[in-house]
Every structure is written in C-alpha cells, then in structure tokens.
Amino acid sequence: MKYDLAIVGIGSHGSAALHRAAQEGLKVIGIDRFDPPHTRGSHHGDTRITREAQFEGDHLVKIVQAGNKWRESFEDKNDPLFVKCGCLNIGVKNSDTVRDIAAAASGVAQRCNIEIETLDAATLAKRFPVFQVPDNFDVVFEPNAGYLRPEACIAKNIEMARQYGAKVLVNTEVTDIAEGRITLADGRVIEAEQIIISAGAYIKKFVPATFAQKIKPVRMYVGWFKIKENYEAHKNAPVFCLDYNDYGIYGFPAIDGPDGGMKVGVEIDVFNKPALDLATHTYETTKEEMDEIFAGVLEYLPALSYDYVRSAACIYTVVTDDEFIIDKHPLMKGVWICSACSGHGFKLSFGIGMMLVDLVKTGKSALYTDKFKFSRFN
C-alpha cells in the first residue's frame, strides 16, 4: 500500500498532524520508535503552559489561536485537554526580560484582542498569596491562559486519527528515509507520496549535517515539591514564569491533591547546556538538579518544602536561534521537517499539525512563515 502521507514521530506535533491528516481524508500512517504518549521525549510530566500572548513573536499567535479553535471542536468538556487558570510572567522591574515581555505581550494583546493585565508585587501577593516577590518586581498576567495536558492531548490525537482511518505503528524504529520511502529496522519499507519527519531529539540523523549542527537536544528537569501550608491557594494558583539574573523558574497549580506537591522547573542558560547523548541519557533526576530548582523556589514560593514528592527529566530540542524548523527537506522532494521547538512548542502543537497538513496538501498555509525555513541559516 502506498500512503498519501507518512509521519515519522507522533509525539507533540506529529500526533496532531496525524489526526488532522486523517480528518482531512488523507491515507496516512504514523510511525514512532516508542509508544506515545511516553516518557522518553519532551511531552511527559502532566502539564504544559499555554498562552496566546506570544512574546517570542507575533507570527506564533495565529498558530496558537487556530490550534485552540480546532482543539475545542473535538475536546470532551468532561475530560478537558486545556485548563484555564491564567499565566503570570514575573521579573525584576525594568529588567530586559520583563520589559520585553510586557511590551511584546501588550502589543500582541492590542493587535490580537488578547486580555492581559500588569500587576505590581503588592497586587500579586493579594490576588495569589502563594507568591512573595520584592517590590522591585513587575508582573504581566494573562487571565485566559493556562495549561495543556500533554499526554492526554497526544492520546486524543492518536485515538481520533485511528477513528478517521489512520494506520499507527508504535515501538517501530525508522532506520532510513528517502524520497517516497521509509525503511524500518525490521526491513519493512513504507511507501508514501509525502513524508513528515517530526522525530524530536532524533531529528538530527535525518537532516543534512550543515543543519543538524544547529539543533541540540538538552536535558531539563522538574520536581513536585511538598506544600507546607495553604494547599487551596496553591491549587488555585496560575501557571507562572519567573525570571531573574538569567535564572528562569516556571510552575503549575498543585493539581494532584494536598500530598501531590506543586510542579516547578528551572531554565538556566539552556542554549549553552551540553548536548545529550541519546544512547546513554537517563531519565532519573539527581539531588543536585532538585537543589538547583529549589534554590529559585525558596525565596518566591515560601510555602513549598524541599522535600519533593516526585521528579522527572525530559529533553528540550533547541535551535541556535530559538526558532522552530518547519520546512521542506533541502535534499529530498516530498519530505518535510518539523522539529526543534526550543522548549516552548507544545502550546503550538495543534496549530502546527494543521499547518503541516496544509503544506502537504497545497504547499502553502496561512499559518506558515518564512521564519521557520532553513534558508535563514544561510
């Protein structure tokens, strides 16, 4: 059988493209070396921040908004994929980070009708008492933001794709990709008119070396820290990103009950982290990694205890310019590359799935931008 489309990697973006392609009537197959959702990539850990105000660039806003609209069309309201709780961006007053976020977010808000508020430290403490920040901190709050449930999103995409007739191969490694042909580790060959490679950290083996060197998988980690008091306030907290001195903390409401802890992660100098060896990488976290997170948590979330309930490590696949790579393969006709979403791509996954199917079907998409092209590296 020859497929209209084969997708290699059906995690965050690949599963959305699989779902959308099947819904659009394409004869499509999805292939993954693991069995998504899983804990061997970038999408595990229960929650991912999502927001419409994209201070990384206006070109991302329409992708998020289109994806949100599509998700709402099939989401079970009794088992939601998205939970609205608001998003706080917190940092030192007049710092580059907060100034850039405030300016970009307010500009986007005006252009795209996104509701945001600017708060001071006193207002923050009154409205969300789990946070204690100094008076020289500012806050940008997007009330309609929140979090996605990544494992549930991917499972739903694959479930819906199968209902629409998609073929799914899991625990199946791809050893080679050529125009119109995918070779599997067991020797089978899949033929397809077009191919999308959305293999996350494993993308490097399928792109030319010139571009592969722009892509780097790095290790990230999170912990669920015990709550000493006032659980209800932590349960009702927004998602948050807090930046100071190039040290970034992010976290989520305490959704797992009084004994489940509050999930917090850290981003420090991500682009200078060493590249992971995927063959030897372990997903166990270390005490030193939890120390690193708690060093940032202690001052600003004082009701959290160093004792953590659980922890997890995942992989960010980052690009040297902190942008996505979504483009035709430079050497193979009919092959598309979608990867390296630099740690902030899950909120765009539904929209990117839509975009990819547009590109496969017509060669263009209203959601696409030249910012994603390989040519920017020339």
What are the pLDDT digits (tens) for 252-292? 999 999 999 999 999 877 878 888 999 898 899 999 999 99
Same domain for 108 and 253, yes or no, is: yes
Question: Cis omega before residue 37 (within 30°)?
Answer: yes
| Structural domain includes residue 266 | yes
* Number of domains the chain is built from: 2
Tell me what the pLDDT averaged over the chain comes to: 92
Predicted pLDDT of residue 99? 62
4-18, 103-117, 311-325: range with lowest mean pLDDT: 103-117
Sign of the C-alpha dihedral computed for residues 33, 343, 141 and 120 taken in this order: positive
Predicted pLDDT of residue 102? 63
Give pLDDT tens digits for 226-262: 999 999 999 999 999 998 766 789 999 999 999 999 9
9 contacts 32 by C-beta, under 8 angstroms: yes
Same domain for 171 and 312, yes or no, is: no
Same domain for 235 and 289, yes or no, is: yes
Same domain for 183 and 264, yes or no, is: no
Q: What angle do CA 343, 103, 273 make, to 5 degrees?
A: 25
34-48, 143-157, 262-276, 302-316: range with lowest mean pLDDT: 262-276
Mean pLDDT of the region 31-59: 90
Same domain for 196 and 224, yes or no, is: no
Same domain for 232 and 293, yes or no, is: yes
* Beta bridge pairs of residue 304: 227
Contact residues for 212 (Cβ-Cβ < 8 A; gap 6+): 204, 205
Predicted pLDDT of residue 243? 83
Determine the residue type at 270.
Answer: V
Same domain for 132 and 189, yes or no, is: no
Rounded CA-CA distance 369/364 in Å is 10
Predicted pLDDT of residue 303? 97
Q: Is 86 left (phi over 0), alpha (psi -120 to 50) or beta?
A: left
Q: E-assigned strands of the chain?
A: 2-8, 28-31, 48-50, 82-84, 87-92, 117-120, 137-142, 146-148, 167-169, 174-178, 181-184, 189-197, 215-227, 239-244, 247-251, 262-268, 304-319, 325-328, 335-339
- Name the residue with higher pLDDT: 360 or 139: 360
For the cut 80, the answer to whether the pLDDT of residue 201 exceeds it is: yes
Cα 231 to the chain's mean position, in Å?
27
Give pLDDT tens digits for 309-360: 999 999 999 998 889 999 999 999 999 999 867 678 899 999 999 999 999 9
Q: What is the CATH number of the domain that holds 160?
A: 3.50.50.60
Boundary residue ending a domain (277, 301, 319): 319
Rounded CA-CA distance 261/307 in Å is 9
The model scores a pTM over 0.85: yes
Q: Which domain does 296 fall in, by range?
A: 84-144+216-319
Rg (CA), the chain: 21
Q: What torsion do the CA atoms of 312, 313, 315, 319 make, to the nearest 10 degrees? A: 110
Q: How confident is the model at residue 172 (pLDDT cuts 50, 70, 90)?
A: very high
215 contacts 203 by C-beta, under 8 angstroms: yes
Same domain for 194 and 330, yes or no, is: yes
